[in-house]
Chains A and B, each alone.
Chain A
Amino acid sequence: MIQVQHLSKQFRTAAAKEGAFKGVRMLFSRDVRIKHAVADINFNIEPGEFVGYIGPNGAGKSTTIKMLSGILHPTSGRVTIDGLSPHHDRRRVARKLGVLFGQRTQLWWDLPVRDSFDILAAMYGIDAGMMKRRLSQLSELLELEPFMDTPARKLSLGQRMRSDLAAALLHDPAILFLDEPTIGLDVTAKRSIRHFLKSINQHLGKTVLLTTHDMDDIEQLCGRVIVINDGKLGFDGSIDDLRRRIGLPTLIRITYKLPIADSAKHAITRSEFNGLQLSCGEDERVLTAACNREQLSAMDALRMLEQYGEIEDVHMEEPDFEEIVHRIY
């Protein structure tokens, strides 16, 4: 469905000058800095996949999306969307795509939402009957009815995002590119957007590529994650793979009945002890151990920790997905 081969994008920026007449000197300057926004990326996305595309700010996520949707032309490499190049066939590819930029609305600011939909219908050449069916369907799923006649500028962020989603789906594209669709939304609004995205993927079979900074989005929606960092692909696989690959430790916090024995303190200074990483907190009786469950089971770890004294309480923390992502970045 989506094929990306050796995709690269370089931006050239004139190096800033210092001192007097810097503006004028910059005009004639030949010093250019080349920034590799995206460097030699490869991936394929099959129909019906729900892919999370993640990475820190400035990693090249938006640049990739812009190249996939035909807004930017790649410096080198190839993109094909359903067999077509968005570079050479922008207008035909545009019909197959629904794109949403969470940071920016694509609705007509001053127009009632309904009118925005009318304009889009005109642009995509959707006939009146079809349009009516689609709209009633989308309106039901996204609960648009209460604000269909409100100008976009007066919508709440959640309402705006739902309307934008409907706008992206109006021409029934097979592929959706969603750039931070939950940004700035409250918990309920996020939940309803996620629910909607899940259902159009599962029931309507839409292929979705989603960028987000919200790891709950990824965990709950995406079967596959692609990580980009500094323009390069860091990881491409399932979330479980990602967890395993990073091998983030489980944290075990032990509270002993008595203050910790000296032998334990000795172990702490060595910091690595039989696959356990130990550290002490403020409390004399508390010890925190980090262990990689792939290498050491929790029971073994506890057994080892028991030798420092009688355990009163145990608290275990599984690795947080947010943490995982921080690790990759």
Chain B
Amino acid sequence: MKEQLRMYKLLAAASLRSRMQYKFNFWFSTIMAAVINVVEFAMLAVILAKFGHIKGWSLEEAGYLYAVLTLSKAIYRTLASDVHHLEHYLVSGDLDNLLLRPIPILLGLMSQNVSFRIGEVLQGMTVLILCMRELFQHGQITWTAIPYTVVIVLSGALLLFAIGLLTASLGFWLTRIEELQTITEDAARTAVQYPVSIYPKWMQGMLLTAIPVAFANYVPSLYLLRGEGGIGLLIASPVVAACLFAAGLLLWRRGLMRYQSTGT
């Protein structure tokens, strides 16, 4: 494990160096990602500033949900950016290059094309700090919320990674997964940027079971921000993330085996 961490660091650093070769592109994608994020949030903020609340969720609360998820996503995509792009590796045959190396494939994939999502991190942190300050002043949260938030962000990152890994692994069978990823990763994540209670029951059910991305922010926030449920909701988040990740690793291994026996 320690050895793998060291290797990840070395490989990630090298890949980051290569990204920096194109300084313009690097800064451009960083800034644009932040701008798009800001605009997305601004739309929610404009609506809530005008109408006060959405199903009882105030701007600060909705902002908290949004910011936590943004940070989780930034961490996931920084650590494992090319897991999301497995389709490209399968189509081009670049996966073979990784298979020739004496390192675990998943680790190799994670360390390719690393990009620090500075824009998203900055934007997420800003919104998070602003919202949490408001929530403090209203007495909705106390200092304990800070370590809890760290746990929520990290388990959210693991959860998003797990969903990404499960979807990518299906690529070993389906090859074409971009459309599927749009649903399981992008659409699902966009859905939980807003309080899940605004959706009809069937969709809430989907976000809690089929693609349980609601555990990344909504479920723990119910307890943390509004004192609903109990601390169990907070604990559920890392537990669900870990279980799903284990399932992801299992499917990944099966998929890789299939790749090696069929040569897709």
Contacts and interface: CB of A to CB of B under 8 A. Distances in A.
A–B direct touch, CB within 8 Å, in complex? yes
A147 B261 CA distance: 39
Contact of A104 (B10, B19, B21, B93): B93
Contacts of A75: 261
B100 interface: yes
The listed residue with most A CB atoms (<10 A of its CB), out of B10, B22, B97, B99, is: B99
Given A94-B100, A94-B102, A72 B21 contact: no
A110 interface: yes
Interface stretch (A118-126, A134-142, A212-220): A118-126
Interface string B91-115: 0010011011111100010000000
A95 B14 contact: no
Q: Is the interface of A mostly helix, strand, loop or mixed?
A: mixed
A48 to B, nearest CB: 23
Nearest to A103: B93
B96 A66 contact: yes
Nearest to A171: B102
A195 interface: no
A228 to B, nearest CB: 17
Given A66-B96, A91-B103, A73 B261 contact: yes
Interface string B193-230: 00000000000000000000000000000000000000
A288 to B, nearest CB: 47
Contacts of A94: 100-102
Interface residues of A, number: 31
A64 interface: no
B260 A91 contact: no
Given A104-B93, A122-B7, A63 B263 contact: yes
A90 B21 contact: no
B102 A119 contact: no
Q: Is the interface of B mostly helix, strand, loop or mixed?
A: helix
A122 B3 CA distance: 11
A207 interface: no
Contacts of B21: 110-111, 151
B99 A90 contact: yes
A151 B96 CA distance: 22
Contacts of B102: 91-92, 94-95, 123-124
Given A106-B100, A123-B7, A111 B260 contact: no
Given A11-B262, A122-B10, A110 B100 contact: no
A66 to B, nearest CB: 7
Interface string B252-264: 0000010011110
A71 interface: yes
A115 B100 contact: no
B18 interface: yes
A118 B104 CA distance: 18
B18 A123 contact: no
A122 B11 contact: yes
Contacts of A73: 257, 260-261
Contacts of B10: 119, 122
Nearest to A118: B14
A63 B261 CA distance: 11
A70 interface: yes
Contacts of B101: 94, 123-124
Contact of B14 (A63, A104, A106, A108): A108
B133 interface: no
A71 B261 contact: no
A72 B260 contact: yes
Interface in B33-70: none
Interface string A90-134: 111011010101001010101100010011001110000000000
Nearest to B258: A73
A91 B105 CA distance: 10
Interface string B231-263: 000000000000000000000000001001111
A12 interface: yes
A109 B97 CA distance: 13
Contacts of B97: 104, 106
Given A92-B102, A122-B7, A123-B103, A115 B18 contact: yes
Contact of A71 (B11, B96, B108): B96
Contacts of A12: 262
B141 to A, nearest CB: 43
Contacts of B14: 108, 111, 115, 118-119, 122
A102 to B, nearest CB: 14
7 contacts: A12-B262, A69-B99, A70-B260, A71-B96, A71-B260, A73-B260, A119-B11
Given A71-B260, A108-B15, 11 more contacts: A70-B100, A70-B260, A71-B96, A73-B260, A75-B261, A91-B102, A101-B96, A104-B97, A106-B100, A108-B14, A115-B14
The 7 closest A-B pairs by CB, nearest first: A122-B10, A94-B102, A119-B14, A111-B18, A91-B102, A73-B260, A110-B18
